[in-house]
Amino acid sequence: MAEQNRQVLLKRRPQGMPVPEDFAIADAPLPEPGADQVLLRGIYLSLDPYMRGRISGVRSYAKPVEIGDVIEGRVVGQVARSRHPDFREGEYAFGGYGWQLYSAVDGAGLQKLDPAEAPLSTALGVLGMPGFTAYLGLANIGQPQPGETVVVSAASGAVGAVAGQLAKRAGTRVVGIAGGPDKCRYVQEELGFDACLDHRAPDLGAALDSACPKGIDVYFENVGGAVQQAVFPRLNDFGRMVMCGMISEYNDTAPRPGPNLAAVVRKRLKIQGFIVSDQRHRHAEYRAVAAPLVREGLLKYREDIVEGIDSAPTAFIGLLQGRNFGKLLVRLAPDPTR
Ligand SMILES: NC(=O)c1ccc[n+]([C@@H]2O[C@H](COP(=O)([O-])OP(=O)(O)OC[C@H]3O[C@@H](n4cnc5c(N)ncnc54)[C@H](OP(=O)(O)O)[C@@H]3O)[C@@H](O)[C@H]2O)c1
């Protein structure tokens, strides 16, 4: 076991796109687990777009990370020491304890993982919060019907890949939007979307017109900005916008001008936001649907794994620029199950 902990702290609040200097990386003493706590040694750290909001200091649905704090994040790890009756050394567990190698966490806040059921890393991606987000957004808001057309942005990413595949399983025509030809090829050929459009290529609007000849019934919104502007006018009557995220606007320093919403009335559109944690009690329901599909290769996923805690800030900045290709994870230590 390493003698020391290592942590990534918030040094200052980013202005616009974060830069490496906004973060500090430092060694720290190994934490001592208290009564009913577990010392967890991290194996995979999840990097997710929502962390941009947490480090901005803006009031939101969750508490911000304060200057000098360890950056928040979910981790899959192995029990290094246990003072909790339900956990034994060597077991695998998952919890939210931030960008660091070790943490002493309450056993009550940890969830045990069985590596025989699914690869450990999937608890942070396809079977974890991002996959569950896709499931909830479609089930509660998108409600795709057979024969409809569903458009999914950030389609090769952790949420988008699952949203598109589930929509396809519901009998719809699914059109992805992703950045660059490699991601688009993957979305179409590997994930089985009917088409995938490159938002970096000129004239996304014309590309949508030819990929969605019957218009768009459901838009699973992950990026906002120019992509949203191209999709919105192409929504059909009674179209639904699943407002999951708008990553292209997370580094804005001023609010963008509001949209013209006249079409919402004319077309009877439904635009609804959601936060996955609102219905965290349904995660087991999602796992029961998704885990067998993953095992049978019917729900595909891709992971983009960077090495070592020190690479977390740069990898996170890359996520905000579209440099990740699949669910972005940091390997904190070798995975003994792989
Ligand atoms: N509502 C909720 O509870 C909830 C929960 C989880 C996630 N989310 C949201 O879901 C979205 C996707 O998250 P994820 O974890 O699946 O991330 P991800 O898709 O794995 O990674 C982010 C992707 O966003 C795209 N992107 C970044 N900057 C962009 C820009 N300026 N314009 C267009 N695309 C850009 C990039 O893909 P391309 O290269 O393809 O452009 C990038 O790879 C995010 O908006 C996130 O905030 C919401």
At 139-171, the pLDDT tens digits run 999 999 999 999 999 999 999 999 999 999 999
pTM assigned to the model: 0.97
Token code pair at residue 305: 């794994």
Write b or e for each residue in 283-311: b if 16 or more Cβ atoms lie within 10 A of its Cβ, otherwise e: beebbeebbebbeeeebebbbbebeebeb
- Ligand 1, pocket-test mutation among 223, 249, 277, 328, most atoms within 8 A of CB: 223
Nearest CA to ligand 1 atom 22: 319
**CB-ligand 1 contact for 183 (6 Å cutoff):** yes
**CB-ligand 1 contact for 304 (6 Å cutoff):** no
- 318 φ/ψ angles, rounded to the nearest 5 degrees: -60, -35
The Cα 143–Cα 54 span in angstroms is 30
Confidence of residue 2 (pLDDT cuts 50, 70, 90): low
Q: Is the pLDDT of residue 20 over 90?
A: yes
- Ligand 1, pocket-test mutation among 193, 222, 279, most atoms within 8 A of CB: 222
Nearest CA to ligand 1 atom 7: 130
265: Cα separation from own chain's centroid: 31
- Ligand 1, pocket-test mutation among 247, 280, 301, most atoms within 8 A of CB: 247
Q: What is the pLDDT of residue 3?
A: 75
Q: What is the pLDDT of residue 59?
A: 76
| DSSP code of residue 103 | E
Identify the bridge partners of residue 150 per DSSP, sorted by sequence position: 174, 218
